[in-house]
Amino acid sequence: MSSSNATAGAPRSTDDAILDAAADLIVHLGVRRTQLAEIARRAGVSRPTVYRRWPDVQAVIGALLTREILATLEGTSLEVHDRETFVDRVVEVAVRLRDHPVLGALLHSDDSDLLLRYVVERLGASQRGLLEALRTGIEQGQAVGSIRAGEPTELAAMVLLITQSTVQSHRMVASLLPEAAWRRELARALNGYLAP
């Protein structure tokens, strides 16, 4: 698995090599079988090199999730003035998150404690990054009247919750909501929530 941050032809940093190795292991072996020694081996570094950066496998996974989730925003600016374009872009990011191999491995892991820790119980750096992007887009839409009045941070939090739960529950309702319907209904929910 290649780094979401890698530029074509540019050498990977040690951190990216470690995170890429962790991503590969999570996708191919599962979260529970991902061990720090194997991460180090696949990254071509020593275990102390990994430990100097992160104290344990959970911290490596946390850093990986932050990198991968924030990378889903690349190339999709949420800084737009009209609500419908903003919502279309939120849906596009949701599709990227839903279809991401590492995030999918985590969401569909049999380790429910891990899922709770990284997705449900804490507001991590990746979610804060998404919230900031959402807040900025909401403020811009409010400035021109295409998004309703309200505290932008609160609206961003609800957009995140609506979108996150839709992404997490996708497999459960896949037979009821084919791809086009999933996108359409998520957009309808977000447009309805944000409309003035």
Q: State residue 22's pLDDT score.
A: 97
- pLDDT category at 76 given cuts 50, 70, 90 is confident
User: Are 83 and 180 found together in one domain?
Assistant: yes
Asked if residue 79 is part of any domain, the answer here is yes
Asked if residue 7 is part of any domain, the answer here is no
Provide the number of structural domains found in the chain. Answer: 2
User: Are 82 and 58 found together in one domain?
Assistant: no
CATH of residue 47: 1.10.10.60
Instruction: Say if residue 15's pLDDT is above 90.
Output: yes
Strands (E), the chain: none
Residue 76 CA, distance from chain mean position: 13
By the 10 Å C-beta count (0-12 exposed, 13-18 middle, 19+ buried), 121 is classed as exposed
Asked if residue 6 is part of any domain, the answer here is no
Asked if residue 154 is part of any domain, the answer here is yes
Which of 6, 29, 63 represents a domain boundary (last residue)?
Answer: 63
Range 62-76 average pLDDT: 89
Domain residues for the domain of 45 are: 14-63
User: Are 116 and 43 found together in one domain?
Assistant: no
Report pLDDT digits (tens) over 97-153: 999 999 888 877 776 676 667 666 778 888 899 999 999 999 999 999 999 999 999
Asked if residue 120 is part of any domain, the answer here is yes
Stated pTM of the model? 0.85
Residue 185 or 124, more confident: 185
